[in-house]
Amino acid sequence: MPFSNKAIMKWLLLTITILLVMSFNELTTYRDVENHSFDFGEKLEYRVHYGMINAAEASMEISNQVVYRNNRPCYKVDVWGRSVGLFDLITRINDNWGTYIDTAAIIPHGFYRILEEGRYRKFEYVDFDHQKLEATTTILDKVTKEPRDKIINTIPKNVQDMVSGYYYLRTLDYSKFEPGKIISIDAFFDEEQYDFKVKYLGKETLRTKLGKFRTIVLQPLLPKNGLFTGEDAIRVWMSDDSNKIPLKVKASMFVGAVEIDIKKVSGARNGVPIME
């Protein structure tokens, strides 16, 4: 029995509706990353030094409150860096880097930098649209702090900024990795996309001001630059426990070795298991 025009139209409309629903669902689907390492209220404080000379204080803090961006619940993370002592007299530094990390997908919905380094100033905000795969960077005027320039760039799926990327590294299960494993992360910074690579070196025992820890050792692989001495110039030690707290960073620079050491932890999701 042949189909009537009415039946054909009915099936055509139904097919179009199904396709539209499927397309919409595809556009609004976010990945789901298991995170057992950090939570609201965590604060990590660090000492930055050249040998015995203190250069700066730094902290990484997750707000106690959930913040919504792009209708998604987020962790608001602030990283602070402030020069101290002689370094503060020579070149005063007061920097704030921040990000809004999706609590389920562990990707950023917004990123900002407020940099005050000597006479240098930079104020910017980046809005990440993971539906359109676009990052909109807004540069603020150095004096009035009003929006001055706006730049739109295409981004890959699940891109990270330079702060959220380190929190994403804390969610990985390193027990599945062999030493030498390369971890690749799509990153966006300074209006450019990077293939950020980190090498897993293995595990070590590290003594800190807080005590002795078993640690995971990572090595960000750097492109050739005029600041660090080679692609293997930086090493990061994270606690080998459920928190994966960054405990130490050592960077070999052309001006000497800089070290960042943990000095205080509060609000850790799983307590702070110390060996001794």
Summarised one tens digit per residue, pLDDT across range 181-232 is 999 999 999 889 989 999 999 999 999 999 999 999 999 987 654 455 556 7
User: For residue 143, what pLDDT is reported?
Assistant: 83
User: For residue 82, what pLDDT is reported?
Assistant: 94
271 falls within a domain: no
275 falls within a domain: no
Instruction: Using alpha carbons, select from 247, 225, 222 the residue that is nearest to residue 234.
Output: 222
* pLDDT tens-place string over residues 35-75: 999 999 999 999 999 888 888 999 999 999 999 999 999 99
- The structural domain count of the chain equals 2
74 falls within a domain: yes
Give the Å distances, CA to CA, from 49 to 17, 57, 75, 169: 61, 9, 29, 24
- Host domain of residue 63: 31-266
- Do 174 and 41 sit in the same domain of this protein? yes
Domain containing 209 — which CATH number?
A: 2.40.360
CA distance 229 to 214: 27
- Do 143 and 79 sit in the same domain of this protein? yes
- Do 3 and 54 sit in the same domain of this protein? no
273 falls within a domain: no
Cβ count within 10 A of residue 14: 10
- Do 6 and 125 sit in the same domain of this protein? no
Q: Are 225 and 20 in contact (CB under 8 A)?
A: no
